[in-house]
Structure 1
């Protein structure tokens, strides 16, 4: 078969703010004809995000510009993502080609455990279309019973028959696929990346307004800033951060030298604010939900960023803040840690749930102003590789191997 343009279908539940820039990059490739199929449009409108405690969210960056897309006909859509939602029909017809449109050469599916994903993979297999799957799962992401693990092994034996290759997000994700699909299964390393250029540019722009944000938050410029920015959910463990922060106090009743700035909203907010009030400290700030374009301002303000999560699949916020050249402290259960953060180099790593370990990680990172600055410099150097160009190279390798229609 001669080399030529590959018609690639990409199926995903809904427009996702992290993915839109990558999809625009792929759409510019001259020999990849990309069409994105969405199950729901809830994220392009204002919606209630349960992860942010039901706060109304409307993303302030373009989610649909710069690539061809289509919303599939809806059977059921409750403006949230579960294994059963959204539920759509029509993907088989589109993969085959209809209304004068040619069929597709390959299907790329985001995730594998939803009815929509399984339906699409079964349809592609029936049509002889190779299937690529991408997810951020890893083996240690949560505890399961023996019965559940046995059922999962059986599920993956079936799934393996429907998938021709996987796009690996990182080291732990590769280990996951090798565990379930075997050492010889085609795995194409496609680093989990964000729009590095965007976050570097926006952080640089934000630095010009640093004093304004400091004034808004009533922060003194001579004190370092510990930043947490994520959903205030139990698994994100902002409560561990608050407890560790209290351990930074030099004496009973004396507030720590660094500020603690918490950006985000969610189920834990009331509990966290109560905990903060009980400390008696005047150095903790709650900033609520902030949109994508606002985050670089907080990255610029930070001395160190902390993500103390349990069972975090990846943590793309870490990619974002590394582009701002900031030190990062993460737990060993943050999926990106193995690839992005080496203890003592780009920041510090502690055992998830170990409050004393987290406090020690903060002390080491903030030992001197130069320590955090040097860690931030190394963080920015390391994140250079985790970019969209690498993603596209990996996608091209996968398409070349599975379709024989495109050059690597």
Structure 2
């Protein structure tokens, strides 16, 4: 069995799956980018991950030949495409329709706001795109709803859970140095935001809500970079219980989850929110907006909570609820670690393999 994978660039959430698949089938990954580094506009910097992403499987980057020419040369039994927004991915969908079965992986959902005048055109366009797909590997409930909305049938949908490297995050030792460097005392509680400082991720809403809470011995830490970083830095200079640290790479970021007591993702819209998986794998309670795609699948009253997006009062209320109950936070974190265990790379890989031999 020969499987071709098409994606833009190496990603820490995909490489371990590619490694697992390569043990089961003849696999080649076709990166449509022309270079290995990737400029992330959200982080506003070039990203070079500090864990190996190109080991354990065969791959090629876009070169002199077109991706379509390289795929024809490889002659796979199936092609699995990650996303269609890239023009080259769309060209592959069109070229190989009815020639080679196409599997598709994406995590879009219906939670975002679309202007009314764009809805008919969007629906027509997406329904057309997905006529080129034999099977879609959906990441969770919201993603499944999206695929069904745009024409795919239940028989064409296979659940392949969105996942992170649970083992790497959960096995990381708790870091007392992170808390010590922030000046935290033993019984202080720490709320963490980790990610891009963008309007969509909405860290400023979390800052506003946290500053309105009235819970002693609590701190808020922002880890990342991006457009709103200057505002957050100014807040950190003004209040000694607000902290801001720069982007942390993959080997270091688990220490910051481990140092926290509550992880918060206040996004206006999140197709999924894999930082939620990361926090849960580290055994942390999670509080996320209702516009995070992962919320309906991952968040329960026993491991965290949700709040209405862009509602600073609701977020404030939920923050106070958790921060006034340290024991509840601890139990919720323990439950989070259990709940996220089945959302793993092995189950995602098995779902893909099952598609090939169905």
Same fold (TM over 0.5): yes
Relative to structure 1, is the Cα distance of residues 212 and 184 closer, same or farther in structure 2, using a 3 angstrom cutoff? Answer: closer
Aligned residue number for residue 93 of structure 1: 69
Aligned residue number for residue 143 of structure 1: 114
**Structure 1 position 378, deviation (Å):** 1.0
Aligned residue number for residue 336 of structure 1: 294
User: Tell me, which stretches of 5 or more residues in structure 2 are unaligned?
Assistant: none
Write the deviation string for residues 149-180 of structure 1: whole angstroms up to 9, x where unpaired.
21122213322331111000110000000111
- Match 1:108 to one of 80, 103, 124: 80
Matched, 1:190 2:160: yes
- Match 2:222 to one of 238, 256, 262: 262
Aligned residue number for residue 396 of structure 1: 353
Question: Contact 1:95–1:124 (CA<8 Å) still a contact in 2?
Answer: no
Matched, 1:376 2:341: no
Matched, 1:118 2:72: no
**Structure 1 position 394, deviation (Å):** 1.0
**CA distance in 1 between partners of 2:187 and 2:104 (Å):** 48
Relative to structure 1, is the Cα distance of residues 118 and 21 closer, same or farther in structure 2, using a 3 angstrom cutoff? Answer: same
**CA distance in 2 between partners of 1:224 and 1:184 (Å):** 45
Relative to structure 1, is the Cα distance of residues 195 and 275 closer, same or farther in structure 2, using a 3 angstrom cutoff? Answer: same
- Structure 1 length normalisation: TM-score? 0.84
Matched, 1:224 2:181: no
- Structure 2 length normalisation: TM-score? 0.95
- Match 2:344 to one of 381, 384, 387: 387
**CA distance in 1 between partners of 2:55 and 2:161 (Å):** 23
**Structure 1 position 185, deviation (Å):** 4.8
**CA distance in 2 between partners of 1:276 and 1:142 (Å):** 32
Question: Contact 1:249–1:257 (CA<8 Å) still a contact in 2?
Answer: no
Residue 293 of structure 1: SS of its match in structure 2? coil
Write the deviation string for residues 310-345 of structure 1: whole angstroms up to 9, x where unpaired.
111111011111011100000000110011012x21
Report which of the two structures shows the higher radius of gyration computed on alpha carbons. 1
Residue 93 of structure 2: SS of its match in structure 1? helix
**CA distance in 1 between partners of 2:113 and 2:291 (Å):** 10
**Structure 1 position 63, deviation (Å):** 1.4
Matched pairs, number: 358
Residue 200 of structure 2: SS of its match in structure 1? helix
Relative to structure 1, is the Cα distance of residues 50 and 157 closer, same or farther in structure 2, using a 3 angstrom cutoff? Answer: closer
Aligned residue number for residue 199 of structure 2: 234
Write the deviation string for residues 105-129 of structure 1: whole angstroms up to 9, x where unpaired.
0000000222111111122225x10
**CA distance in 2 between partners of 1:237 and 1:288 (Å):** 17
List 4+ stretches of structure 1 deviating above 6 A.
Answer: none
Aligned residue number for residue 61 of structure 1: 51
- Match 2:242 to one of 284, 300, 310: 284
**CA distance in 1 between partners of 2:318 and 2:34 (Å):** 41
**Structure 1 position 72, deviation (Å):** 2.0
**CA distance in 1 between partners of 2:145 and 2:127 (Å):** 16
User: Tell me, which stretches of 5 or more residues in structure 1 are unaligned?
Assistant: 1-5, 75-88, 251-255, 402-408
**CA distance in 2 between partners of 1:122 and 1:48 (Å):** 28
Relative to structure 1, is the Cα distance of residues 38 and 48 closer, same or farther in structure 2, using a 3 angstrom cutoff? Answer: closer
Question: Contact 1:242–1:276 (CA<8 Å) still a contact in 2?
Answer: no
- Match 1:155 to one of 103, 122, 125: 125
Relative to structure 1, is the Cα distance of residues 182 and 57 closer, same or farther in structure 2, using a 3 angstrom cutoff? Answer: closer
Aligned residue number for residue 34 of structure 1: 27
Aligned residue number for residue 71 of structure 1: 61
Residue 235 of structure 1: SS of its match in structure 2? coil
